[in-house]
Amino acid sequence: MSPIQDIAFVRYQVTDLERMQSFLADFGLHTVARTPHALYSRAAGAMHHVHIAELGPENATVGFGLLARSAEALAEVAARAGRPVETNPEPGGGQRVRFTDPAGFVVDVIHGQATHAPLPVREPLAFNGASGRRRLGQPIRLKPQPSSVMRLGHVALLVADFPKSLAFYREVLGFVPSDTYWAGNEANTIAAFMHCGLGEQWTDHHTLALIGAQDGLSRFDHSAFEVIDLDDVVQGGEWLKQRGHKHSWGVGRHIQGSQIFDYWRDPFGHKIEHWTDGDLVNDGTPVGHAPVTPDELRQWAPPLDPEFFA
């Protein structure tokens, strides 16, 4: 079984913390701590923070945090990675094991970090479909506002050496493929959507996606944050549009993972996603293996702009 329960946070380097803080507020995140050199933002859920922006001379994707299942699981990660368990010096505290993965990302596996009381948000809206009507005498009335981001769901990584990264996350951290992509021939696997290998426990279709970088440069493709429901995706997108932020692609529904998605760009060009209604899998779910094509990215969506792949 994987020692990892879930993803905890993503870590970026940016040239302007004020601009990032303003964007994240419009995206649906909330500042929980700020120093002269870093900004820590939370979602509406209990995690202490889900997004870290560090001040630096250039904009870059630095790494991410993963949540260990237990103190024993954290010790297991330390043994596998050959790194010590240490006190986490960042806001939220707890303990961590820090290492650099084969693609150069800084990975913090954490346990015992402080949590928050969840923020108040509305319930998912009952939906009156053509059959099984559930919303009786209850009109829907929403007001313009940012999405209610509930949690960080996954990070997608472009990696210089895909086979090496795939082997590392399978063997060291116990991630399991849910779906994979091939190019040219079926033996040439170039991408993997991976879930935490938790046996029979249901978990997100992917917590981590690995994609071979065609230019050989490792970086994030995107980070993805779960919101309440479809209305929250669209409502939050309208808020971001009104505030002058750059849209990338959506709204649509993916194939692998089935999420309803909407992609935006932060002020520094990083791609960031609102999503809802994703698949759940466990270690007994059959693994898909499909050819990579533009049509594999969506069941329905607006036409893809080449900007999405920049």
The strand pair at 208-212 and 151-159 is best described as parallel
CB 153 within 8 A of CB 7: yes
Sequence-distant (6+) residues with CB within 8 A of 74 are 3, 68, 85, 95, 96, 97, 109, 110, 111
| pLDDT surpasses 90 at 310 | no
Residues 216-263: tens digit of each pLDDT: 999 999 999 999 999 999 999 999 999 999 999 999 999 999 999 999
Q: Token pair for residue 187? A: 């033996």
pLDDT (0 to 100) of residue 158: 98
Mean pLDDT of 139-164: 97
Residues 162-219: tens digit of each pLDDT: 999 999 999 999 999 999 999 999 999 999 999 999 999 999 999 999 999 999 999 9
pLDDT (0 to 100) of residue 120: 97
Distance CA 148, CA 233 (A): 9
Residue 13 burial (CB count, 10 A): 18
Distance CA 308, CA 305 (A): 6
pLDDT (0 to 100) of residue 305: 84
Question: Where does the pLDDT of residue 96 fall: very low under 50, low under 70, confident under 90, or very high at 90 and above?
Answer: very high
pLDDT (0 to 100) of residue 295: 82
Mean pLDDT of the residues in the chain: 96
Mean pLDDT of 255-282: 98
| pLDDT surpasses 90 at 99 | yes
Residue 46: closest CA among 89, 13, 109, 92: 92
Residues 293-307: tens digit of each pLDDT: 878 889 999 998 888
The strand pair at 38-42 and 51-55 is best described as antiparallel
For the entire predicted model, the pTM comes to: 0.96
